[in-house]
Amino acid sequence: MKKPLPIGVADYRRLREDGYYFVDKSLMIQDLLEKKTIVTLITRPRRFGKTLNMSMFSEFFDITKDSRDIFADTKIMRTSYASYMNQYPTIYVSFANAKGSLQDIAKEIKLQLRNEYDRYAHVFSDLGIFDREEYEDIIYHSLRLSDRTLDNISNVLSFLMKMLEKYYGKKVMVFIDEYDTPFIEAHVNGFYEKIRGPLALLLHNALKSSLSLQYALLTGIQRVAKQNIFSDLNNLSVYSVKDEAYASYFGFDEKEVSELLSYYGLELDEGVKEMYDGYRMGNQDIYNPWSIIKYADTGALSPYWLNTSANQMIKSAFKDASQAFQEEYESLILQGKLDTWVQMETSFFEASSTESLWGLLVNAGYLTIARLLDPTNGYYTIRIPNQEVQKEFRSLTAYHMHLEDADLSRLFQALYYGKKGQFIVQYKQVLLRLPSYHDLKDENSYHMMMLGMSAWLSEDYVVQSNRESGTGRYDIMLKAKHAHHPSYLFEFKYTGDAKCDLTQLAKKAVEQIIHNKDDVELKGIVIEVGIAHRGKNCEIVWVERKNKDA
């Protein structure tokens, strides 16, 4: 009987005790101990195993637990660092669910902190008069759930750390998972200033001011609240997706993917690689573990990755994006990659710039670094990792073009299946919903608009523009990769003359395609589309035939 797949299992003890399939990342513990960095922040996209790793750290160090069974036969137990097991008072909190309104975020953070106070209730049984006074103030005031703010939590973590060191005679390990989620949620929902100060002070007092800290490890999408938390934190090291340190511990490498799929009777073939491969962490190729596990469960090459919080944050950032970013974004969509400056160490909503917005897209997993062109100055080649993320990227492109996701989906569907009527209706809808009449001022405007949308057909089509074919040069060619899809040739025309017959102009566009023999390299069903425009008005001539010469 096969081991169950750990779908949604982020608790290390449960994963091991209940016999789920296990990929051993325990040598990360050795790396952390050898570096001896007081505070470590590791930034990774959602769904890359951050919470499971943090749970593993907590279980390994926690002095209140016996973790021998759940670490049996792991790699860390074959090192000298096995002696560190269950030797430290340990605080583990996750802010992953600190989402929604200010009240919901405050409640979730307080619940996480209350859980740790409850777990260590025995530590507070014999306090001195002043420690007792502070303890009661925290319990009955700072952590009251009826107070749905974070105004009085500044000393909650640091006081617990001090009491743990006093009780156990050892400094404290602190693990904070998804520390940036409340910052992101507050920014997206418009109350960032109400979160920033109190939460920043809580973390600052624990990570900078406390004398009871042994080591702290934080995870999140990006480095945020720099001026409030990290500006004077000289004991901090940040490791992003571009760094080699810890690169192999978040996500699966190719060997791990191959072994997992083989165990469940599947193969790591080109289809799997095209759909899920493509991330570059440090010097390693990495797969999104969530997607691989879901594929192993279903056997279907479908997109499983979804990053709702980051998606909303990016859409919010797009509203403030510079013209330089808009132009670079369009180049990325058309070319599939982009050489640009990327800032990954600072959050976009605290230092809004083109560089930090690209950094947000990389940190959130929408893009990956393909080449280090000038890493000292943050100049990289970035690209969309794989087909799975490309599908998610479509919603961002629709948003970028001020269109509804459904508009593009229906347009793509019409092209996939050669549905003339649906394409004509959807193309005209897209024209009507584009925000500015003045953006559509010549033939090239429409050409670039359609090319930007067609770029998302690259899973099923080779998309080419302004290439020579036959005796002429076509505007856009969609060359089908699969025999069951038709191929397309597009020719765009524009007129500002109100008396010009758009239907006749569209017919001339198709005649131009036929005259120039632009379809010479296409096989099977070929659809020639002539589109004549005047502002947001257009007429479309659609000619379908089988290419007998191919």
Query: What pLDDT shows up at residue 550?
Result: 47
Query: What pLDDT shows up at residue 450?
Result: 80
pLDDT of 372 > 80? The answer is: yes
What count of Cα atoms within 13 Å lies in the side-chain half-sphere of residue 545?
A: 13
What count of Cα atoms within 13 Å lies in the side-chain half-sphere of residue 472?
A: 19
State pTM to two decimals: 0.83
Left, alpha or beta for 517 (phi > 0: left; psi -120 to 50: alpha)?
left
Contact 491, 531 (CB under 8 A): yes
pLDDT of 440 > 70? The answer is: no
pLDDT of 261 > 50? The answer is: yes
**Model confidence pLDDT, tens digit, residues 468-518:** 555 557 788 899 988 888 999 999 999 989 999 999 999 999 999 888 776
Cα angle value 309/311/315 (rounded, 5°): 120
| SS3 state at 91 | strand
**Model confidence pLDDT, tens digit, residues 397-434:** 777 777 777 777 888 889 889 999 999 999 998 888 77
Query: What pLDDT shows up at residue 287?
Result: 95
Contact 424, 441 (CB under 8 A): no
Query: What pLDDT shows up at residue 438?
Result: 47
Q: What percent of the chain has pLDDT over 70?
A: 91
DSSP character at residue 230: I
Under the banding of pLDDT at 50, 70 and 90, the label for residue 368 is very high
257 closest CA partner among 282, 283, 239, 275: 275
**Model confidence pLDDT, tens digit, residues 192-231:** 889 888 998 999 999 999 999 999 999 998 876 555 566 6
| SS3 state at 194 | helix
What would the mean pLDDT of 342-354 be, rounded to a whole number?
78
What would the mean pLDDT of 443-452 be, rounded to a whole number?
73
**Model confidence pLDDT, tens digit, residues 33-62:** 999 999 999 999 888 999 999 999 999 999
Under the banding of pLDDT at 50, 70 and 90, the label for residue 239 is very high
Name all domains of the chain by residue range, CATH numbers in brackets.
15-248 (3.40.50.300), 251-298 (no CATH), 308-388 (no CATH), 403-547 (3.90.1570)
**For the ranges 100-104, 192-196, 345-349, 356-360, the one whose mean pLDDT is highest:** 100-104
Contact 385, 368 (CB under 8 A): yes
Query: What pLDDT shows up at residue 437?
Result: 46
Q: Enumerate long-range contacts of 462-469, CB under 8 Å, 24 or more apart.
A: 465/334, 469/516, 469/517, 469/518, 469/519, 469/520, 469/521
**Model confidence pLDDT, tens digit, residues 86-134:** 999 999 999 999 999 999 999 999 999 999 999 999 999 999 999 999 9
| SS3 state at 23 | coil
Cα angle value 196/345/210 (rounded, 5°): 55
Query: What pLDDT shows up at residue 464?
Result: 80
40 closest CA partner among 172, 207, 158: 207
